[in-house]
Amino acid sequence: MIKGLLTTLREMFQQPVTIQYPEVKRPVRTRFKGRHVLKRYENGLEKCIGCSLCAAACPADAIFVESAENTDEERYSPGERYASTYEINMLRCIFCGFCEDACPTEAIVLGDNYELSFTDRHQSIYTKDMLLEPVPPGGKPTPQNTEPGKYTRSVPVMQDPQD
């Protein structure tokens, strides 16, 4: 009995493991797969080119993409094509990360956010503006008015692999 009490006493003076969520949040692991983020380039242009490969790779059919054509006056992403609609149904998503793997421009990344709760099924559909990351400092929001002939490549130039 003394042994048991000793354990209790020892634990009383130890640091508690409970974290005061939501005031305090535990950092996630580096490979954690949370809610998706649509990335931007440094200049603010969206990386997503609306190719739908994420939707094709998705085993849960959670992603819906529609695309349209960029113009230099109204440019969302480099190259010709951008996603005019981008929706992920978080109720369907199984956070497998296949979309990340399929993306040819590394536009979609499973982020750190695990706080997904909805009171309505419709809220589970995350639209493009909810998924897009904020414009980085120094960048401009999309659509941008860009100089003609500058952003002609949709898929960033990939040099012959070095590593």
Partner 1 sequence: MTKLVTLTIDDQPVSVPAGTLVVDAAKQIGNDIPVFCYHPKMEPVGMCRMCLVEIGRPMVDRGTGEVLLDENGKPRIQFGPKLETACTTPVSEGMVVRTQTKVVADARREVLEFILTSHPLDCPICDKGGECPLQNLTMGFGPGQSRFLYDDKIHLAKHVPLGELIYLDRERCIQCARCVRFQDVIADDPVIGFYNRGRRLEIVTYSEPGFDSIFSGNTTDICPVGALTTADFRFGARPWELKSSASICTHCPVGCNLTFNTRREARAGGNPVIKRVMPRQNEQVNEIWICDKGRFAYHYTESPQRLTQPLVRRGDGFEEISWEEAYQLAAQKIRASQNLLTLTGGRLSNEDLFNLRELTLARNGQAVLYSDMAGGDLTASYGLAPGSNFGSMGKETAILVVASDLHEEAPVWWLRIKAAAQRGARLIVLNPRSTRLDKFATHTLRYAYGEESQALATFLPGAAVPEAYQAAVQEFHSAENAVIVYGSEGAGLAASQGLAQTAAAILAARGKVGQVNNGLLAVWQRANDQGAWDAGFRPVEDLPAALRNVEVALIAAADPAGDDPLLAQALEETGFVIVQELFMTETARRADLVLPVQAFTEREGTLTSGERRVQRFYPALPPRPQTRPDFAVAAGIGKALGLDLEGRAASLVFLRLVKTLPAYAGLTYTQLAEVTPQYPIIGRSDLYYGGTAYDNHQGLGVQLPLLPAARPVAVGQSQTAASVTAGEGEILLVPVTRLYDRGNTVLPSALLHQRLAGKTIRLHPQTAAAFGLNAGETLRLSRDGWSAEAQVELDEEVPLKMALAVRSTGIPCSALSAVRLERLTVASAD
Strand pairing report for 36-38 and 108-110: antiparallel
Choice between 48 and 93, CB closer to partner 1: 48
Element spanning 103, H or E? none
111 annotated ligand-binding residue:
no
Choice between 77 and 144, CB closer to partner 1: 77
33 annotated ligand-binding residue:
no
Which residues contact partner 1 (rule: CB under 8 A)? 49-53, 55-56, 64, 66-69, 79-81, 85, 87, 104-105, 152-155, 157-160
What DSSP assignment string belongs to 26-60? PPPPTT---SEEE-B-TTS-BS-----HHHHH-TT
Choice between 33 and 78, CB closer to partner 1: 78
105 annotated ligand-binding residue:
no
Give the chain's count of helices (H) and strands (E): 4, 5
Question: Other C-beta atoms within 10 Å of 103: how many?
Answer: 20
103 annotated ligand-binding residue:
yes
Choice between 106 and 115, CB closer to partner 1: 106
For 95, counting Cβ atoms within 10 Å of its Cβ (0-12 exposed, 13-18 middle, 19+ buried), the class is middle
- Binding site: what residues are annotated? 48, 51, 54, 58, 93, 96, 99, 103
- Binding site for [4Fe-4S] cluster: what residues are annotated? 48, 51, 54, 58, 93, 96, 99, 103
